[in-house]
Protein backbone atom coordinates (compact mmCIF):
# COMPACT_ATOMS: atom_id res chain seq x y z
CA UNK A 1 0.00 0.00 0.00
CA UNK A 2 3.02 2.28 0.40
CA UNK A 3 3.51 2.04 -3.36
CA UNK A 4 0.10 2.21 -5.03
CA UNK A 5 1.62 2.91 -8.43
CA UNK A 6 3.68 -0.28 -8.22
CA UNK A 7 0.56 -2.27 -7.28
CA UNK A 8 -1.33 -0.64 -10.16
CA UNK A 9 1.47 -1.58 -12.54
CA UNK A 10 1.44 -5.18 -11.29
CA UNK A 11 -2.32 -5.39 -11.71
CA UNK A 12 -2.09 -4.02 -15.24
CA UNK A 13 0.51 -6.57 -16.29
CA UNK A 14 -1.19 -9.49 -14.56
CA UNK A 15 -4.54 -8.56 -16.06
CA UNK A 16 -3.00 -8.41 -19.53
CA UNK A 17 -1.67 -11.94 -19.05
CA UNK A 18 -4.79 -13.75 -17.79
CA UNK A 19 -8.47 -14.06 -18.65
CA UNK A 20 -9.75 -14.15 -15.08
CA UNK A 21 -10.24 -11.01 -12.99
CA UNK A 22 -7.21 -9.93 -10.99
CA UNK A 23 -8.32 -9.00 -7.47
CA UNK A 24 -6.45 -7.07 -4.81
CA UNK A 25 -6.51 -7.78 -1.10
CA UNK A 26 -5.35 -4.91 1.05
CA UNK A 27 -5.69 -3.32 4.44
CA UNK A 28 -7.27 -0.04 5.42
CA UNK A 29 -3.82 1.49 5.86
CA UNK A 30 -0.23 1.01 6.91
CA UNK A 31 1.50 2.53 9.93
CA UNK A 32 0.81 6.27 10.05
CA UNK A 33 -0.87 6.17 6.63
CA UNK A 34 -4.15 5.07 8.09
CA UNK A 35 -6.63 7.71 6.99
CA UNK A 36 -9.66 6.79 4.90
CA UNK A 37 -8.33 9.14 2.21
CA UNK A 38 -5.09 7.16 2.00
CA UNK A 39 -7.02 3.97 1.31
CA UNK A 40 -9.20 5.71 -1.27
CA UNK A 41 -6.14 7.00 -3.09
CA UNK A 42 -4.75 3.45 -3.16
CA UNK A 43 -8.00 1.97 -4.45
CA UNK A 44 -8.45 4.65 -7.11
CA UNK A 45 -4.93 4.11 -8.48
CA UNK A 46 -5.30 0.34 -8.51
CA UNK A 47 -8.78 0.57 -10.05
CA UNK A 48 -7.45 2.78 -12.84
CA UNK A 49 -5.20 -0.17 -13.76
CA UNK A 50 -8.22 -2.42 -14.22
CA UNK A 51 -9.00 -3.96 -10.84
CA UNK A 52 -12.63 -3.81 -9.80
CA UNK A 53 -12.69 -6.30 -6.94
CA UNK A 54 -11.12 -5.47 -3.59
CA UNK A 55 -10.90 -7.60 -0.47
CA UNK A 56 -10.21 -5.38 2.49
CA UNK A 57 -8.80 -6.59 5.80
CA UNK A 58 -10.31 -3.90 8.02
CA UNK A 59 -7.16 -3.22 10.03
CA UNK A 60 -4.15 -1.00 9.54
CA UNK A 61 -0.94 -3.01 9.17
CA UNK A 62 1.63 -1.88 11.70
CA UNK A 63 4.83 -2.75 9.94
CA UNK A 64 7.02 -1.43 12.75
CA UNK A 65 7.25 -3.65 15.79
CA UNK A 66 4.43 -6.16 15.22
CA UNK A 67 4.78 -9.69 13.89
CA UNK A 68 2.43 -10.87 11.12
CA UNK A 69 0.46 -12.80 13.75
CA UNK A 70 0.14 -9.75 16.01
CA UNK A 71 -0.85 -7.76 12.95
CA UNK A 72 -3.88 -10.00 12.59
CA UNK A 73 -4.99 -9.30 16.15
CA UNK A 74 -3.76 -6.02 17.60
CA UNK A 75 -4.56 -3.20 15.16
CA UNK A 76 -8.20 -2.31 15.79
CA UNK A 77 -10.86 -3.31 13.29
CA UNK A 78 -12.52 -0.44 11.43
CA UNK A 79 -15.30 -2.06 9.47
CA UNK A 80 -16.94 1.37 8.89
CA UNK A 81 -14.06 2.33 6.58
CA UNK A 82 -14.83 -0.66 4.36
CA UNK A 83 -18.56 0.11 4.34
CA UNK A 84 -17.74 3.67 3.37
CA UNK A 85 -15.53 2.45 0.54
CA UNK A 86 -18.48 0.51 -0.86
CA UNK A 87 -20.72 3.57 -0.52
CA UNK A 88 -18.21 5.76 -2.34
CA UNK A 89 -17.44 3.16 -5.03
CA UNK A 90 -20.68 1.26 -5.57
CA UNK A 91 -19.41 0.15 -8.99
CA UNK A 92 -16.65 -1.96 -7.38
CA UNK A 93 -16.97 -5.34 -5.76
CA UNK A 94 -15.93 -4.71 -2.14
CA UNK A 95 -15.43 -7.64 0.22
CA UNK A 96 -14.72 -7.31 3.92
CA UNK A 97 -12.28 -9.36 5.98
CA UNK A 98 -10.95 -9.53 9.53
CA UNK A 99 -12.21 -11.03 12.78
CA UNK A 100 -15.53 -12.24 11.38
CA UNK A 101 -16.52 -15.52 12.97
CA UNK A 102 -20.29 -16.10 13.02
CA UNK A 103 -22.98 -16.47 10.36
CA UNK A 104 -24.89 -13.66 12.08
CA UNK A 105 -21.92 -11.33 11.62
CA UNK A 106 -21.53 -12.40 7.99
CA UNK A 107 -25.18 -11.51 7.39
CA UNK A 108 -24.74 -8.14 9.09
CA UNK A 109 -21.70 -7.27 6.97
CA UNK A 110 -23.50 -8.29 3.79
CA UNK A 111 -25.93 -5.44 4.42
CA UNK A 112 -23.03 -3.09 3.65
CA UNK A 113 -20.64 -4.83 1.28
CA UNK A 114 -20.65 -7.36 -1.56
CA UNK A 115 -18.82 -10.17 0.14
CA UNK A 116 -17.19 -11.47 3.30
CA UNK A 117 -13.86 -13.25 3.43
CA UNK A 118 -13.30 -15.57 6.36
CA UNK A 119 -9.84 -16.79 7.32
CA UNK A 120 -9.08 -18.13 10.76
CA UNK A 121 -12.66 -18.77 11.87
CA UNK A 122 -13.12 -21.43 9.17
CA UNK A 123 -9.81 -22.91 10.13
CA UNK A 124 -10.55 -23.11 13.85
CA UNK A 125 -14.15 -24.14 13.30
CA UNK A 126 -14.54 -25.64 9.81
CA UNK A 127 -18.18 -26.52 10.51
CA UNK A 128 -18.92 -22.78 10.37
CA UNK A 129 -18.50 -23.17 6.62
CA UNK A 130 -21.35 -25.70 6.62
CA UNK A 131 -23.47 -23.33 8.70
CA UNK A 132 -23.10 -20.60 6.09
CA UNK A 133 -25.48 -22.70 3.95
CA UNK A 134 -28.23 -20.86 5.83
CA UNK A 135 -27.28 -17.75 3.83
CA UNK A 136 -28.68 -19.58 0.80
CA UNK A 137 -31.56 -21.04 2.81
CA UNK A 138 -29.94 -24.44 2.60
CA UNK A 139 -29.62 -26.76 5.60
CA UNK A 140 -26.12 -27.43 6.92
CA UNK A 141 -24.91 -30.96 6.24
CA UNK A 142 -24.37 -32.99 9.40
CA UNK A 143 -20.83 -33.64 10.49
CA UNK A 144 -21.45 -37.34 10.02
CA UNK A 145 -22.38 -36.69 6.36
CA UNK A 146 -19.29 -34.55 5.88
CA UNK A 147 -17.13 -37.32 7.31
CA UNK A 148 -18.84 -39.92 5.12
CA UNK A 149 -17.75 -37.89 2.09
CA UNK A 150 -14.34 -37.28 3.53
CA UNK A 151 -13.34 -40.93 3.98
CA UNK A 152 -13.38 -41.87 0.27
CA UNK A 153 -11.65 -38.58 -0.51
CA UNK A 154 -8.91 -39.44 1.99
CA UNK A 155 -8.58 -42.93 0.57
CA UNK A 156 -8.19 -41.54 -2.94
CA UNK A 157 -5.58 -39.03 -1.79
CA UNK A 158 -3.63 -41.68 0.13
CA UNK A 159 -3.62 -43.81 -3.02
CA UNK A 160 -1.97 -40.84 -4.73
CA UNK A 161 0.73 -40.72 -2.06
CA UNK A 162 -0.67 -37.96 0.14
CA UNK A 163 -0.08 -38.24 3.89
CA UNK A 164 -3.16 -38.54 6.09
CA UNK A 165 -2.11 -35.94 8.70
CA UNK A 166 -1.73 -33.41 5.88
CA UNK A 167 -5.49 -33.76 5.44
CA UNK A 168 -6.66 -34.34 8.99
CA UNK A 169 -4.97 -31.21 10.34
CA UNK A 170 -7.65 -29.22 8.57
CA UNK A 171 -10.41 -31.11 10.39
CA UNK A 172 -9.09 -30.89 13.94
CA UNK A 173 -11.75 -28.28 14.70
CA UNK A 174 -14.67 -30.20 13.17
CA UNK A 175 -16.33 -30.74 16.56
CA UNK A 176 -15.36 -27.34 17.96
CA UNK A 177 -17.75 -26.32 20.73
CA UNK A 178 -19.23 -29.81 21.18
CA UNK A 179 -18.66 -32.49 23.82
CA UNK A 180 -15.67 -34.59 22.88
CA UNK A 181 -14.07 -31.89 20.72
CA UNK A 182 -10.80 -32.23 22.59
CA UNK A 183 -10.85 -36.02 22.39
CA UNK A 184 -11.30 -35.79 18.61
CA UNK A 185 -8.47 -33.30 18.31
CA UNK A 186 -6.19 -35.49 20.43
CA UNK A 187 -7.09 -38.63 18.47
CA UNK A 188 -5.97 -36.93 15.25
CA UNK A 189 -2.99 -34.92 16.44
CA UNK A 190 0.66 -35.91 16.51
CA UNK A 191 0.09 -39.41 15.09
CA UNK A 192 2.24 -40.04 12.04
CA UNK A 193 0.86 -43.61 11.80
CA UNK A 194 -2.79 -42.50 11.89
CA UNK A 195 -5.14 -44.59 9.74
CA UNK A 196 -8.60 -43.90 8.35
CA UNK A 197 -9.95 -46.58 10.70
CA UNK A 198 -8.52 -44.61 13.65
CA UNK A 199 -10.36 -41.56 12.37
CA UNK A 200 -13.61 -43.48 11.94
CA UNK A 201 -13.36 -44.84 15.50
CA UNK A 202 -12.67 -41.38 16.92
CA UNK A 203 -15.53 -39.88 14.91
CA UNK A 204 -17.98 -42.60 16.00
CA UNK A 205 -17.11 -41.91 19.64
CA UNK A 206 -17.71 -38.18 19.36
CA UNK A 207 -20.84 -38.65 17.25
CA UNK A 208 -22.25 -40.95 19.96
CA UNK A 209 -21.94 -38.04 22.38
CA UNK A 210 -23.53 -35.67 19.85
CA UNK A 211 -26.18 -37.66 17.95
CA UNK A 212 -27.51 -34.56 16.16
CA UNK A 213 -24.14 -33.30 15.06
C1 LIG B 1 -1.43 -18.56 8.86
C2 LIG B 1 -1.93 -17.36 8.09
C3 LIG B 1 -1.29 -16.96 6.94
C4 LIG B 1 -1.73 -15.87 6.21
N5 LIG B 1 -1.09 -15.50 5.04
C6 LIG B 1 -1.58 -14.48 4.30
C7 LIG B 1 -1.01 -14.14 3.05
O8 LIG B 1 -0.03 -14.75 2.60
N9 LIG B 1 -1.54 -13.11 2.34
C10 LIG B 1 -2.61 -12.41 2.81
O11 LIG B 1 -3.08 -11.48 2.15
N12 LIG B 1 -3.17 -12.71 3.99
C13 LIG B 1 -2.69 -13.72 4.74
N14 LIG B 1 -3.27 -14.03 5.92
C15 LIG B 1 -4.31 -13.15 6.43
C16 LIG B 1 -5.70 -13.62 6.07
O17 LIG B 1 -5.88 -13.65 4.68
C18 LIG B 1 -6.75 -12.68 6.67
O19 LIG B 1 -6.63 -11.40 6.10
C20 LIG B 1 -6.58 -12.54 8.16
O21 LIG B 1 -6.37 -13.80 8.78
C22 LIG B 1 -7.77 -11.83 8.77
O23 LIG B 1 -8.96 -12.54 8.51
P24 LIG B 1 -9.59 -13.51 9.62
O25 LIG B 1 -9.75 -12.68 10.89
O26 LIG B 1 -10.88 -13.96 9.05
O27 LIG B 1 -8.62 -14.62 9.84
C28 LIG B 1 -2.84 -15.12 6.66
C29 LIG B 1 -3.50 -15.54 7.83
C30 LIG B 1 -3.06 -16.64 8.55
C31 LIG B 1 -3.80 -17.04 9.81
pLDDT in tens, 100-112: 999 999 999 999 9
Q: What is the mean pLDDT of residues 134-143?
A: 96
Res 18: pLDDT: 97
How many A from CA of 208 to the centre of ligand 1? 35
What pTM does this model have?
A: 0.93
Res 139: pLDDT: 96
Q: What is the mean pLDDT of residues 199-211?
A: 96
* Ligand 1 nearest-atom number relative to CA 101: 26
Positive or negative, the Cα torsion across 149, 155, 161, 162?
A: positive
Q: Which helix (H) or strand (E) holds 16?
A: helix 4-17
How far apart CA 164 and CA 155 sit, in angstroms, is: 9
Nearest protein Cα to ligand 1, atom 14: 119
Instruction: Locate the domains of the chain by residue range.
Output: 4-118, 143-209
Res 69: pLDDT: 94
Does residue 187 contact residue 167 with C-beta atoms inside 8 Å? no
- Among 44, 40, 46, 14, which Cα is nearest to 28's? 40
Question: Is residue 192 scored above 90 in pLDDT?
Answer: no
- Among 65, 67, 43, 63, which Cα is nearest to 55's? 43
Terminal CA-CA length for the chain = 44
Give the chain's mean pLDDT.
Answer: 96
Nearest protein Cα to ligand 1, atom 23: 98
Question: Is residue 24 scored above 90 in pLDDT?
Answer: yes
Question: Is residue 124 scored above 90 in pLDDT?
Answer: yes
How many A from CA of 199 to the centre of ligand 1? 29
- Phi/psi at 33 (nearest 5 deg)? -85, 75
Q: Which of 25, 119, 123, 124 to mutate to test the pocket of ligand 1 (most atoms within 8 A of CB)?
A: 119
Give the pLDDT confidence of 35-76 residue by residue, as tens digits.
Answer: 999 999 999 999 999 999 999 999 999 998 899 999 999 999
Give the pLDDT confidence of 11-22 residue by residue, as tens digits.
Answer: 999 999 999 999
Question: Is residue 8 scored above 90 in pLDDT?
Answer: yes
- Among 10, 109, 64, 18, which Cα is nearest to 26's? 10
Residues having CB within 6 Å of any atom of ligand 1: 25, 57, 72, 97-100, 118-121
Nearest protein Cα to ligand 1, atom 13: 119
Classify domain 143-209 at the CATH topology level: 1.20.120
- For 177-198, the DSSP string reads TSTTHHHHHHHHTT-TT--HHH
* Ligand 1 nearest-atom number relative to CA 100: 26
How many A from CA of 196 to the centre of ligand 1? 30
Classify domain 4-118 at the CATH topology level: TIM Barrel (3.20.20)
Cβ atoms within 10 Å of 198's Cβ, excluding its own: 15
Give the pLDDT confidence of 156-176 residue by residue, as tens digits.
Answer: 999 999 999 999 999 999 999
Amino acid sequence: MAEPNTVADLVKHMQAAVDIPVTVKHRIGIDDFDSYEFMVDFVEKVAAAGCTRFIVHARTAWLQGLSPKQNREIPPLRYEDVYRLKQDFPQFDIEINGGIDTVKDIEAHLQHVDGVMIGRAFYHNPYLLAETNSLWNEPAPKRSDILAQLYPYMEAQIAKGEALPTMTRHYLGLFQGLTGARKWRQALSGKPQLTIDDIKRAADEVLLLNPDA
